[in-house]
């Protein structure tokens, strides 16, 4: 676990909780339920990647970023250009990670 600054972790957990609570409380008046949940997922992606710094946490972060981007700027009911862009980014990241791991030499026991 690389990222272990307790203040940053508490801030991200508080942001996740506040966005989730706001989504549930403001939903009847402002119809912002999915936007609040998308923010909560995005903060969870940041938190997970901050703590673990692994390739699978980066994949989760990219997926939550796509969800938040789609809720705020795109049309979440259709498959549009932003899904294609994020699929390209995610595919590029996964291929880069696989190729980078293949280039790393394994240590031989002496």
Report the C-alpha gap between 64 and 60 in whole angstroms: 6
Q: Which H/E stretch holds residue 83?
A: helix 81-103
* pLDDT at res. 92: 94
Considering the domain boundaries, does residue 109 fall inside one?
Answer: no
Judge whether 99 lies within some domain: yes
**Given this model, what pLDDT does residue 66 score?**
92
Structural domain total, the chain: 1
The answer to pTM > 0.85 is no
Q: Is residue 22 part of a domain?
A: yes
- Contact assessment for residue 62 and residue 71, using Cβ atoms and an 8 Å cutoff: no
Helix (H, G, I), strand (E, B) or coil at 9: helix
**Which range of residues forms the domain containing residue 96?**
6-103
Residue with tokens 């031989």: 108
Among residues 21, 25, 1, the alpha carbon closest in space to that of 13 is found at 21
């Amino acid at each position: 676990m690389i990222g272990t600054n307790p203040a940053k972790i508490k801030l991200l957990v508080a942001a996740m909780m506040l966005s989730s609570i706001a989504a549930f409380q403001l939903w009847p008046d402002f119809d912002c339920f999915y936007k609040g949940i998308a923010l909560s997922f995005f903060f969870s992606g940041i938190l997970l990647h901050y703590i673990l710094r692994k390739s699978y946490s980066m994949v989760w972060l990219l997926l939550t970023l796509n969800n938040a981007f789609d809720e705020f700027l795109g049309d979440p009911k259709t498959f549009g250009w932003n899904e294609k862009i994020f699929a390209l980014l995610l595919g590029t990241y996964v291929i880069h990670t696989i190729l980078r791991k293949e280039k790393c030499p394994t240590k031989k026991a002496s």
